[in-house]
Structure formats: C-alpha cells, structure tokens
Structure 1
Amino acid sequence: MARHVLAVGEALVDVVHRADGSSAEHPGGSLANVALTLGRLGRDARLATWLGRDDRGDAVRAWLAESSVTTTAGSDGAPRTSVAQATLDAAGSATYEFDLEWRVPAGAGATAETLAVHTGSIAAVLEPGATGVRRLVESARATSTISYDPNARPVLMGEPADARAHVEALVRLADVVKVSDEDLEWLAAGTAPLDVARAWVHDLGAALVVVTFGGEGATAVTAAGEVHVPSRSVQVVDTVGAGDSFMGALLDGLWSADLLGADRREALHAVDHRTVEELLARCVAVAAVTVSRAGANPPWSYELEDA
C-alpha cells in the first residue's frame, strides 16, 4: 500500500442558496473537501465517510474520483446521503443547516503507510460517529501524524463551554490544528484567538496550531514562536470550502517538508520559522483560488505553478 493521508468524516451535498435568490447543489463536506484538495495537489488521499447508495451519493463519489480520492471500504453504508443547506450573504460568507447522519465505516483506520489522519468538523462531534473518530485517532497516533480542524458548527455543537471541552480533548491528541478566528471567538468568547492557540501549544501539546483570520491572513503558533502570513487580494465569490482547502494545503506542505508520520513527531515539534512561513504562503495561495470561484472548488497543482 502506498503512503497516504486518511481523512475521516463527512461527505455530503451542499445546497447553496445565494443572496440573489438562486440556488445550486455541490458535493462537499469538510473532510471530503480536505481530501479533494490533497488529491488535486497530487497526493494519495483516502476518505473514510458515510454516503448513501443514491443519486446524491453517486454524485459525491464521482466528484471525489475525478480528483483521485478513494473512499474506504464501507463508506457507502448510509441509508441516504446527508445534505447541508448553505445560505450565503452578500459578501459570500455561508451559514449552514444540516440534515445528516454520521458513522465511521467498520474497519476504517490507519496502517503503517498512513502518514497522517485528519478529522474534525461534524465528524468529531456528531454521535454515534464521534466516538468512533476518537477511538480511531487514539489508535492512529502510533503510526501517523494527527491533524484536526474543529470547524465549529454551533447548531450541532451545543453550548460553547461544552463544545470547547470536547474540542480540547481532541486537541490533546493532535499534532497539527487548524482553526479559524471565528471558531475561537465562539468557543472562547472574550479570549483573544492567539491566546487560545498559544495555550493549545504550550498546555495541550500540539506541535503546530494555525489560526486563520479570513482576509487578514493566517498565524501559526509553535513552541518556538509565531509566524504570520497575509492573505492574497482576490475577488471573493464565496467562502465555501476555503478553510478546508487551506487545511489540505497544510497537510500537502507538511508532506513535502517530510514532517508527516509518527516517526517525524519530534521534527514537527522543532519546525523552524522559515518552513512554517513557506507552508502558510502555500496555504494562503490555495485558499485564495478557492474563494475566487463558486462552491468547494480547490485548485489543481498546475494552477499553482506561479504561486
């Protein structure tokens, strides 16, 4: 088996309602978007997910396959494919309502060739799948880098204090965390986002925490300090999938830097600022392309040749 990244979590159909009253369906889901980004950047990406054997499920599987993403065995076991209703405001920012079910497919897990396991978003909080995610991540730490994006969905996560306790339990298992300033403002109201990120590194043990600030760029926190990279100027169509494409690009960059895999955990904790700056610059470039077009549509590697 070839070396690969395993994403564990939701793939679904986004029904996007635009400010002008139009609507359209796009395959999506946070974890699917991360896997898709990796596939388009030339990486072997596997997705353990929960799709139905229906028309929407077929559309999602075809979308993933076009970008060379493989779904793991059992990922087609859902009674029907889940749906997210995304409503865009005039600036292209999305709010969501969900009709979904999530379970981890039987037998899903890391192998000796799994460089990283990535999870987060709905998959990490919605039962019964969330318990399966936690068990899988705990087991995978022996072989793989663990990455996590809380990607907060308040409508599914309950009260912020309860959600934060759940999120931080997963941060303790993670090597790499990507989180938006909006997520942190909801999870830890009254605390500066970077103060939360610093605590996740120094108190909870993450090697790298990246906080994204939308149009203001991104800041990475490590034990050695912090690195900020500004965003790129671009005409925003919508923000659907932007954070997920950033996350996929981050995993791609860590792979290029030979910082994925449990045997590279010590090196990841010692990562230097120049490497982090290069990682963030690539992530910002990928996210800029994604927000410049409709839906979760990250770039292919050839589109970044001059990035």
Structure 2
Amino acid sequence: MTQPRIGVIGEALVDIVVGGGTHVGGSPLNVAVGMARLGAPSVLHSRIGDDAYGDAIRAHLAVDRVGIGAHTLVAGASWTATATIAVDGSAEYDFALNGEIDVPDLQDLDLVHAGSIGALRDPGSAALLAAYREAPARTLRSFDPNIRAAVIGPADAARERVFALAAASQVVKLSDEDAEWLRPGAAPEHVLAELAAGGTRFAVITRGGQGAIALVDGARYDLAARPVTVADTIGAGDSFMSGLLFALLRDGTDRRLAAGAPVPADDVVAAVDTALAAAAITVSRAGANPPRTEELAESLAR
C-alpha cells in the first residue's frame, strides 16, 4: 500500500518556563510527531528560525523523522512562549511570534491538518482558508483550532475564522474549552450541530475525563475516556488528534470522508476509541509524549 502524503501546517515553538527549563512544543508539531510515531509520517510546514531554539526544534523533529516543509527554515528568531508560573501553579504566557507561516501547495496531499495559533492569526489564516477551499476533493482536510485567545486577535473575528476553516474541513476536533469559547453557554451538542451544518463531516469534542462526543453524518456518538492514572494532561488533545487521524487512515475512513461516502458507525467508534486510547497513554506520563505503534496496539487490544 502506498504511503499517504500528509502535511501538517502550524506552529513549532519552544516553551520557556521562567526559572525552569525549555520544551519544544506547538500543537501542530505535536500532532506531526504523534502521527509519525504511529507510522503515518508527515511533513511539517511551519516557521523555524536559525537560532538555538530552532536547532532544538529541528533535533526534536529528527528523532521521529518528521519532514520539514519548504520555506519552514528561515533566518531570524523561532517562535517562543515564555511562561511565568504563579504560586498557585497558574501560568501567564508571553508569546514571541515573529513572521508568518507560509501555506504550502495542497495539490499533491492525501491529508492535511492545520491548527492553533498558526491557523488563526491573520494574514496567514486567510491564506490557509483559501488553500483549504481550493484543495482537491481527494485531499482530506483536518482542523483543530486549539484556541489561544490572547494571540489570535479580536474574539468575534477569530470565531468567524474558526467556523470558516471548519466549514472547509471534513474533520474538526475541539476541546470542551474551545467549544465554550466559541459559543459561550452553548451545550457541546449544539456546537457540534453548528459545525455539521457548516459542512464538517466528522466533528468531535473532547471532554477530558468524560471522554468525547462525535457527530458524524447526523449520528451522535458518546465514548467514555479510558481509565488511567493521570500524570499530567500536557499534549493530551494533540495525541487525541494524531490518534484520530491515524485511525482514519488505518481504516480507509479518510477516503470515505474525502469522497463524500457514508461512514459506517463501527468505523466512527473505532476512530474515536483509538484517539481516546492515544490520549490516555499520553496523560499517564509526564509531558507531551505521544504513544508509539506498539504502545497503542497494546492498549487497543485490552
């Protein structure tokens, strides 16, 4: 079977903890790493500077053989997020986001995923939306807004961008926090219904320890989270996303979605359960550390 051609668009950055260490991150980068670990390698289209932080990002990607897209390596500073931790454990972030992420040509991709800061800051967001709308029908488009309200501009305009990108995507994943920010006070199922009405075929909202709700072709699915002892929740949503996309590819569901064909209920359940299993493995250990193929297979076999 031919290896699918996968692209991921969005930020790769370094988290800097004041008085602590540094960690390579960024939601799209985490998704690309997670997919690569599951045997679905992708090319990350981002913005990586020629500084020490850029060196760290490139080294991190190289471990799991994530490709680096054209126009990603640039002169200048890499993106960073500096966190100041308060006495109560809460964090305040100061983002340094220099320059824009170039949107690649999607014509030759089987699947493209985009998300978070890189997808929602203008002018890059407008370019991404145009590319998603003009992508070939055979290219499955995935979107996870992973909203960072402080750096994506005025709220109402950002909400419009989220729903426009969702309408151009067959697969959309929100966290319950994303859903609440998008439609304050609305029930999760109402947000899912709005996504579906806009054209999203496979819409999911994650709910932490309560599992996930999906709306696919008018049918609702409620799946419980897998029992797990939580170390921390860093990277859980990104592991869910990479697990979901991996499962869609594994089962051929990606082709059904791209073609507009119905998706059997068993395939929906298998995809969301795989995503929940990937997230459970990640929260069982410290940091954004998504599972590898054999770990996920072992979890799914239980």
Q: Is residue 239 from structure 1 mapped to residue 218 from structure 2 by the alignment?
A: no
2:112: which partner in 1? 117
Q: Paired residue for 1:105, among 87, 91, 102?
A: 102
Offset of residue 79 of structure 1 = 1.4
**Is the aligned partner of 1:41 residue 2:13?**
no
Give the letter for the 1:306 counterpart: E
Tell me whether 1:177 sits opposite 2:172 in the alignment: yes
Contact 1:7/1:35, CA 8 A, preserved across alignment: yes
Q: CA deviation at 1:93?
A: 8.3
Deviations 1:174-230 (A, max 9, x none): 1000001111111111211221111211x2011010000011101111123111111
1:135-180 Cα deviation digits (max 9, x unpaired)? 3222324340111111111112344333221111111101000001
Ranges in structure 1 where 5+ consecutive residues have no aligned partner: none
Per-residue CA deviations over 1:46-78 (Å, capped at 9, x if unaligned) read 111100011111111111111121011221115
Once the two structures are superposed, the pairs formed by residues 111-190 of structure 1 within 5 Å of their partners are 111-112=107-108, 114-190=109-185
Equivalent residue, structure 2, for 1:224: 218
Describe the shift of the 1:263–1:181 C-alpha distance in structure 2 as closer, same or farther (beyond 3 A): closer
Q: Distance in 2 between matches of 1:264 and 1:134?
A: 17
Take 1:25 and 1:137, find their aligned partners in 2: how far apart are those partners? 33
- CA RMSD across the alignment: 2.4
User: 1:127/1:226 Cα in 2 relative to 1: closer, same or farther (>3 Å)?
Assistant: same
Q: 8 Å contact 2:143–2:171 — kept in the other structure? A: yes
- What is the number of residues matched between the two proteins? 298
Q: Secondary structure at the match of 1:117?
A: strand
Contact 1:26 1:295 in 2 (8 A): no
Q: List runs of 5+ in structure 2 lacking aligned partners.
A: none
2:50 is aligned to 53
- 1:294/1:92 CA distance change after superposition, 3 Å: farther
Distance 1:129 1:9 in 2: 10
What is the rounded CA distance, in whole Å, between the counterparts of 1:235 and 1:94 in structure 2? 23
1:27/1:60 contact within 8 Å kept: yes
Out of 284, 298, 304, the position equivalent to 2:296 is: 304
Do the aligned partners of residues 196 and 258 (structure 1) sit closer, same or farther apart at CA in structure 2, a change above 3 Å counting? same
Structure 2 residue 186 is the aligned partner of structure 1 residue 191: yes
Are residue 13 (structure 1) and residue 14 (structure 2) matched? Answer: yes
1:13-54: CA deviations, max 9, x gaps? 12246xxxx622111111111100000001121111100011
Give the 5 Å matches for 1:271-286: 271-286=263-278
CA distance in 1, matches of 2:282, 2:88: 15
Give the direction of change, closer, same or farther, for the CA distance of 1:63–1:132 in structure 2 (3 Å limit): same
Could you tell me whether the CA contact under 8 Å between 2:253 and 2:267 is conserved in 1?
no
CA gap of 1:287–1:87, structure 2 versus 1, over 3 A, is farther
Distance 1:189 1:34 in 2: 27
Identity, in percent, stands at 39
Which residue of the other structure, out of 65, 68, 74, is the alignment partner of 1:68?
65
Is the Cα–Cα contact under 8 Å of residues 208 and 220 in structure 1 kept in the other structure? yes
In the superposition, the TM-score normalised over structure 2's length comes to 0.90
Query: How big is each residue's C-alpha offset from its partner over 1:271-299, in whole Å with a ceiling of 9 and x where there is no partner?
Result: 12211111111111111111222222111
Deviation at 1:102, TM superposition (A): 4.7
